């Protein structure tokens, strides 16, 4: 199965908003509202930030939001902070009863 497509990098200044896209197919993102987003700092395990397209786990800042349109999901981070600098990965359930991840996006806070 092919990885979901994410931009390799995005950047923004403190206080700004950024959006990371995640493009799949009609066999994954397009067919299910089962998209998650993860934040990963260097040397750490990933942390769940968004699940089921737009839901935030308890403890995750409301500056993080998710959405989906067609075969593309998006993660928006508003009010950028230095601590948001990390790698971000999307993931989706697929029609093959499996999970596929995106290639990851490196967020730089300028």
Least distance to other proteins, CB of residue 92, Å: 7
CA distance 35 to 55: 10
Nearest to 54 by CA among 63, 67, 64: 67
Q: Is 82 in the site for other proteins (CB under 8 A)?
A: no
Stretch that binds other proteins, among 9-17, 66-74, 78-86, 102-110 (CB under 8 A): 102-110
Backbone phi, psi, residue 84, to 5°? -80, -10
30 and 85 in contact (C-beta within 8 Å)? Answer: no
- Judged by CB under 8 A, the number of residues near other proteins is 26
Q: Which residues bind other proteins (CB under 8 A)?
A: 1, 3, 34-36, 38, 45-48, 51-52, 57, 89, 91-93, 96-104
């Amino acid at each position: 199965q092919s990885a979901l497509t994410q931009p390799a990098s995005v950047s923004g200044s403190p206080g700004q908003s950024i959006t990371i896209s995640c493009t799949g197919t009609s066999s994954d993102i397009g067919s299910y509202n089962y998209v998650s987003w993860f934040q990963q700092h260097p040397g750490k395990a990933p942390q769940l930030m968004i699940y089921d397209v737009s839901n935030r786990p308890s403890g995750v800042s409301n500056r993080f939001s998710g959405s989906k349109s067609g075969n593309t999901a998006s993660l928006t981070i508003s009010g950028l902070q230095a601590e948001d600098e990390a790698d971000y990965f999307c993931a989706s359930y697929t029609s093959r009863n499996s999970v596929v991840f995106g290639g990851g996006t490196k967020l730089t806070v300028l």
